[in-house]
Amino acid sequence: MPVVAAAVCPHPPLLVPEVASGAASELDDLRAACLAAVESLATAAHVVVIGAGSPRTYEAEAGGAFVAYGAPGVRVGSGPAVLPLSLAIGGWLLEQTKAAQLPRTYRAILADTAPDLCVQLGREIADSNDRVGLLVMGDGSARRSEHSPVHLHPRAEIFDTTVANALQHRDLDVLKALDPDLADELQAAGRAPWQVLAGALEGTSLSGDLTYEAAPYGVGYFVASFS
């Protein structure tokens, strides 16, 4: 059965209020948009979370922790803390919503995975017998301003605008055509997960709704729902 719902979210650790501490309110709008998008996955029978990391599949009990980000009391899952940041944030978002009750699987994919392999993985996920809800975790360019984690790049904003428009208009061809070399240069961690999304949506009639687009810390963040 094809994917019945999908959500796209970024994965800054500051989404977790205990990590952001006194600055938590700065991302209130982003956090609210992410939670609303993830809530829409509750119509599925199984959630698959996709994010950048060493290639591996993790089961629902896999743990994620935020000790390295100053929040030792926050974790997800019941097992050892093995999830990479992208999937740990995805798990944390799920656990704040009704979708927390659903079975879930985590899939990590290398950030430099070739586009055709990303698309093929999306097709394989969509070939499940379950009603799949897909949670796609990925940041845009980390080079949007002089105060970004890496210095401003002249193509960063154009790249992010292209991604935002493709998500809004469900332009799968544009997502599939994102250049992995340019994405690497711009430090856009979401390129591979977004191309998994493109493959997974091929057999569906889901339409996109971009609900957040900004670069509050010089990193492009997008939130979108597909229903």
Tokens of 197: 């999304």
Q: Give pLDDT tens digits for 74-124.
A: 999 999 999 999 999 999 999 999 999 999 999 999 999 999 999 999 999
pLDDT at 17: 94
% of the chain exceeding 70 in pLDDT? 100
Of 87, 118, 84, the C-alpha closest to 104 is 87
Which CATH architecture describes the domain 3-226? 3-Layer(aba) Sandwich (3.40)
Residue 22's pLDDT band (cuts 50, 70, 90):
confident
CA 200, 188, 221 angle in degrees (round to 5)? 80
Report d(CA 75, CA 81) in Å as an integer. 8
DSSP 76-94: ESSS-B---HHHHHHHHHH
Question: What is the pTM (predicted TM-score) of this model?
Answer: 0.96
Q: Which amino acid appears at position 155 of this protein?
A: R
Of 74, 99, 78, the C-alpha closest to 89 is 74
Report the range of poorest mean pLDDT among 18-22, 90-94, 118-122, 139-143: 18-22
pLDDT at 138: 97
Is the pLDDT confidence value at 1 over 70?
no
Q: Give pLDDT tens digits for 145-171.
A: 887 778 899 999 999 999 999 999 999
Higher pLDDT, 1 or 87: 87
DSSP 58-74: EETT-BEEEGGGTEEEE
pLDDT at 129: 84
**Domain parsing of the chain, residue ranges:** 3-226
Q: Which amino acid appears at position 44 of this protein?
A: A
Name the average pLDDT for the chain: 95
% of the chain exceeding 90 in pLDDT? 90
Instruction: Print burial letters for 145-155: b (CB count within 10 Å at least 16), e (below 16).
Output: beebeeeebee
150 DSSP assignment: S
pLDDT at 175: 98
C-alpha count within 13 angstroms, C-beta hemisphere, residue 176: 16
pLDDT at 106: 98
